[in-house]
Amino acid sequence: MVDALYIHVPFCHAKCLYCDFDSRACRDRAAYETYAASMIAYLGRLGDVGALASCRTAYIGGGTPSVLGERLVALASAVHMVAPDLTEFTCEANPESFSGKLARSLARAGVTRISLGVQSFDDAELRALGRLHAADGARAAIAAALDAGLDVSCDLMCGIPLQTEASWTATLDAAIATGVGHVSVYPLTIEDGTPLARKVDAGELPEPDPDFQAWCMEEARHRLTAAGMHPYEVASYARPGKECAHNIAYWTGRSYLGLGRSAASMLDRATYDALRGDLGAPEAADEAARIRFVQTTDALPGGGDGAPAYELEELSAREAAAEDLMLGMRMSRGVGEGMLAYAREVIGTDTLDAAIDEALSRGLAVWREVDGTRRLAPTHDGWLLGNELYGLFWDLADH
């Protein structure tokens, strides 16, 4: 019933200056123990009703899951127990809380992939972000994960204070040299209310330069592609066979379940109705074809600490189709004729074809043969001007 599982770990050793994620600085081992135990118990209840029996990917994120140490290993083992047919199992980690011992233990527990928050291989840039690790620590963490037989993804950030063209190319080259199979590249965003935003407002640091960030994204595509990593999504590069299957599930309309406060879920109507009671979620409107919901409290159903609360977004069949088109255009392979045929049924042939024609005429998309099938795929301009391309299709939800 659920294709992908996400578990949110809300703890970090320290909050980074730019972070507005739902996480809290905490070094309380008792809090770690309580959280892991409650999540393991909840997974057991979901396993009893077979909710995760068909799950193919799992992802433990945060926050910084690696701060849990051996409790993360226990949590990973519980996931594998209730979802025995996983083809990919990712845990996020930060270099300062990751070790060879933890890597080996996670591999034995069924984890296949580590996503490391590296951000930069320049120590001055890391300090400017409020990161706790140094570049050498990131290299050591990557080596430890690879030595344990785990696939590794490396997150990098561009537009960081103090970053230059030379330091960005050095960071890209350093990431390539580690031998990781996957790299994600994100422009720094200044989020309201963060310490970094206050520094920018006070004139202590400059705003990120969008032109420089665009250059960084172009340089990343050039260097990572030359190193054998293909750009399969707007911000993601992978060696053949190392694409993140879990994230692809998000971008291709597959059902996913998120556990923990701030964790997002997206289920089709039948799956939502089947699991609603076990999740403690409210009833959805009759016309909803797809339900997205975010947990807003720490409570877990049946955990003895109150009922969970959720924010619901209910999508009609038309809205769900528009969303699938929008997210599909994040992928380098774009969307296929099957998805387009379904979208024509629920959106309307003339309306959809007008949006496609506009994307083609503006040079944002092109028809392309991929694996022997015809697909509507983003062009290079469509990649650079993603918000314009995505907007063309998301606007179909309300046309």
| pLDDT over 80 at 119, yes or no | yes
Architecture, CATH, for domain 318-398: Orthogonal Bundle (1.10)
Q: In which band, very low, low, confident or very high, does the pLDDT at 301 lie, cut at 50, 70 and 90?
A: confident
Q: Of how many residues is the chain composed?
A: 399
What is the mean pLDDT of the segment spanning 167-172? Answer: 98
pLDDT digits (tens, 9 = 90+) for 59-82: 999 999 999 999 999 999 999 999
Number of Cβ within a 10 Å radius of residue 269:
18
Task: Give the distance, in angstroms, between the CA of residue 64 and the centroid of all CA atoms in the same chain.
Answer: 14
Closest by CA to 358, choosing from 336, 388, 380, is 388
pLDDT digits (tens, 9 = 90+) for 339-363: 999 999 999 999 999 999 999 999 9
| pLDDT over 70 at 283, yes or no | yes
Q: Tokens at residue 122, please?
A: 């320049």
| pLDDT over 90 at 20, yes or no | no
The CATH T-level fold of domain 4-248 is TIM Barrel (3.20.20)
Domain ranges of the chain: 4-248, 261-315, 318-398
How much is the pLDDT for 399? Answer: 58
pTM equals 0.96
The mean pLDDT of the chain is: 95
pLDDT digits (tens, 9 = 90+) for 130-139: 999 999 999 9
Q: In which band, very low, low, confident or very high, does the pLDDT at 189 lie, cut at 50, 70 and 90?
A: very high
Gap between the Cα atoms of 127 and 112, Å rounded: 30
Q: Do domains 4-248 and 318-398 have the same CATH topology?
A: no
